[in-house]
């Protein structure tokens, strides 16, 4: 379920960011309310993901995915410019997420040894 919670959290936070942009600095009530609700839902999913992962890994993976999604939506929805430095930055975020997961990988025996009795 970890992957589902992480992906859902990232999507909700990204949608919240789009609503935040649409709120025009919190001057438009509907997008303002929407961004608060989406961020709260994203935080809920992230909290659920934390049940099965380390804080540093899960938190940064959600932020990394959110950053990549936000960059893509910025281009698609808001016609933001694409540049080599921006693309390299997105690749760096993706590489960081992969490295976090590789650093979090445990052999199967270690996972069962650390399993909670619940």
Whole-prediction pTM:
0.79
Q: How high is the pLDDT of residue 56?
A: 84
Dump pLDDT digits (tens) for 42-69.
Answer: 999 999 999 988 888 888 889 989 989 9
Q: How high is the pLDDT of residue 110?
A: 46
CA angle 34, 38, 40 (to 5 degrees): 120
State which residues of the chain have pLDDT below 70: 104-118
């Amino acid at each position: 379920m970890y992957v589902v919670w992480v992906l859902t959290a990232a999507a909700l936070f990204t949608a919240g960011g789009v609503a935040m942009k649409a709120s025009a600095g919190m001057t438009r009530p509907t997008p303002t309310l929407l961004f608060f609700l989406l961020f709260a839902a994203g935080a809920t999913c992230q909290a659920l993901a934390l049940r099965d992962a380390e804080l540093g890994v899960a938190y940064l993976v959600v932020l990394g995915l959110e950053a990549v999604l936000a960059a893509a939506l910025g281009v698609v929805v808001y016609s933001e410019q694409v540049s080599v430095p921006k693309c390299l930055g997105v690749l760096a975020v993706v590489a960081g997420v992969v490295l976090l997961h590789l650093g979090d990988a445990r052999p199967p025996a270690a996972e069962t040894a650390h399993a909670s009795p619940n």
